[in-house]
């Protein structure tokens, strides 16, 4: 069913959580309503949006999302399709969807309405909670692009996840275990039980300076592949990799090449088709994401602070409900 690509609320302002300048405080902004859709775009009425430390990079200008302040932050969300462009197929008005958007076509996802490229959108299976769907895209796509892409994990291999206590680290553990790998993880002592419960065969305390040597002893020479999710942690992680193995880092800190080990820095790339497969795994219970709590748009700054400091492996979401027609709320 085709819909008019021009949203009814086009002339009305919307509220969004964002910044007036790079490096400025997060606040509620009144922003222009959504423009007319291009043929390949989807308009989403946002019900929940994910919040992560990557949003801090966007706030400070360290991640160029293709738009300038004043701007709503946010690159992942879940909600209902309000309208589609005239060349969009497989997505219709009323569909429940999730998305990771980058670069942004207009405003970020921390607003009531979000324009996304249709190729970056995935339709949600029945029963997937909206908060989990909103918090899934960036961590799950990152994990998928590390495990299936950079590390090319196969059943029977041994994989290290360095920094498994966070949301993305947990996704790395779950996806590696689902692919049939034996997973050795590092985490703080207070996270060991939780990391074991989601699929790690062995959990080592990364506070112990000799943990890479412990990995080599456990594996008889090192893991086949290592995924680093600890800032500046790749130099330690590579010590746990066997000669000729692989290492991928999501923290942009590639170590010096050694012992024939292939290394790669992974920055998440939007991919609607890949995301569709991941939400199916979420619906099946293969992947899980725990949401620590949802914040109102007015508390977006507090949500970002919680995401930056961590919430024991749980995700943080915003609920921008009621933010759509700012002008009519006055």
Q: CATH code at 192?
A: 3.40.50.720
Does residue 30 lie in a domain region? yes
pLDDT of 246 reads: 98
Which two tokens mark 45? 């009425």
Q: What is the CATH number of the domain that holds 126?
A: 3.90.180.10
Instruction: Kindly report the number of other CB atoms within 10 A of residue 283's CB atom.
Output: 16
pLDDT value of residue 257: 87
- Mark whether 102 and 168 lie in a shared domain: no
- Among candidates 64, 69, 74, 107, which has minimal Cα distance to 326? 107
Task: Check residue 199 and give its pLDDT.
Answer: 97
User: Do both 127 and 42 map to the same domain?
Assistant: yes
Q: How many domains does the chain have?
A: 2
36 shares a domain with 120: yes
The Cα–Cα gap between 128 and 267 comes to: 26
Question: Residue 138: what pLDDT?
Answer: 98
4 secondary structure, DSSP code: -
Residues spanned by the domain of 62: 14-136+289-329
Q: Which of 150, 146, 124, 126 is nearest to 135 (CA)?
A: 124
Q: What is the pLDDT along the chain (330 residues), one digit of tens a residue?
A: 344 454 444 447 899 999 999 999 999 999 999 999 999 999 999 999 999 999 999 999 999 999 999 999 999 999 999 999 999 999 999 999 999 999 999 999 999 899 999 999 999 999 999 999 999 999 999 999 999 999 999 999 999 999 999 999 999 999 999 999 999 999 999 999 999 999 999 999 999 999 999 999 999 999 999 999 999 999 999 999 999 999 999 999 999 989 999 999 999 999 999 999 999 999 999 999 999 889 999 999 999 999 988 778 899 999 987 444 333 332
Six-digit token pair at 109?
């996802």
| Domain shared by 44 and 143, yes or no | no
pLDDT at 309: 84
Are residues 245 and 163 part of one domain? yes
Could you tell me if 241 and 325 lie in one domain? no
pLDDT of residue 200: 98
Instruction: Enter the tokens of residue 84.
Output: 């589609």
Asked if residue 101 is part of any domain, the answer here is: yes
129 three-class SS: coil
Asked whether residue 106 falls in the same domain as residue 48, the answer is yes
On whether residue 80 sits in a domain, the answer given is yes
Contact 50, 129 (CB under 8 A): no
Distance of CA 2 to CAs 34, 154, 254, Å?
Answer: 18, 42, 47
**pLDDT value of position 293:** 82
Quick one: 25 and 67 in the same domain?
yes
Shared-domain flag, residues 145 and 254: yes
* CB within 8 Å of 275: residues ≥ 6 apart: 98, 99, 100, 120, 121, 122, 136, 137, 140, 141
Q: Is residue 165 assigned to a domain?
A: yes
pLDDT confidence of residue 1: 39
The reply to whether 207 falls in a domain is yes
Whether 270 is covered by a domain: the verdict is no
Q: Is 200 part of any domain?
A: yes
Residues 256 and 309 in one domain: no
Q: Is 169 in the same domain as 260?
A: yes
Q: Are 107 and 23 members of one domain?
A: yes
Whether residue 4 lies inside any domain: the answer is no
């Amino acid at each position: 069913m085709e819909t008019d690509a021009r949203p009814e609320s086009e002339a009305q302002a919307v509220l969004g959580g964002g910044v007036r300048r790079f490096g400025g405080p997060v606040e509620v902004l009144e922003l222009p309503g959504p423009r007319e859709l291009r043929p390949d775009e989807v308009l989403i009425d946002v019900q929940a949006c994910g919040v992560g430390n990557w949003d801090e990079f966007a706030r400070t200008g360290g991640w160029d999302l293709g738009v300038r302040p004043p701007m709503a932050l946010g690159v992942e969300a879940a909600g209902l399709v309000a309208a589609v462009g005239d060349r969009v197929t497989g997505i219709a008005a009323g569909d429940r969807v999730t998305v990771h958007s980058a670069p942004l076509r207009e405003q970020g996802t921390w607003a009531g309405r979000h324009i996304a490229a249709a190729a970056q959108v995935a339709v949600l299976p029945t029963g997937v909670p909206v908060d989990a769907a909103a918090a899934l895209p960036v961590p799950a796509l990152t994990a998928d692009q590390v495990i299936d892409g950079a590390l090319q994990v196969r059943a029977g291999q041994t994989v290290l996840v360095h920094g498994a206590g966070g949301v993305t680290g947990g996704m790395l553990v779950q996806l590696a275990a689902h692919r049939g790998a034996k997973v050795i993880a590092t985490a703080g002592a207070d996270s060991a039980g939780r990391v074991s419960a989601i699929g790690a065969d062995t959990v080592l305390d990364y506070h112990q300076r000799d943990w890479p040597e412990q990995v080599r002893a456990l594996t008889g020479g090192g893991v086949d592949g290592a995924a680093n999710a600890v800032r500046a942690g790749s130099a330690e992680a590579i010590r746990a990799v066997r000669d000729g193995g692989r290492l991928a880092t999501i923290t942009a800190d590639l170590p010096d090449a050694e012992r024939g080990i292939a290394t790669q820095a992974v920055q998440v790339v939007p991919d609607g088709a890949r995301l569709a497969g991941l939400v199916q795994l979420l619906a099946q219970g293969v992947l899980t994401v725990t949401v620590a709590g949802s914040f109102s748009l007015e508390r977006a700054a507090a949500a970002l602070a919680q995401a930056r400091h961590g919430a024991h492996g749980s995700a943080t979401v915003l609920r921008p409900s009621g933010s759509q027609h700012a002008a009519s709320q006055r």
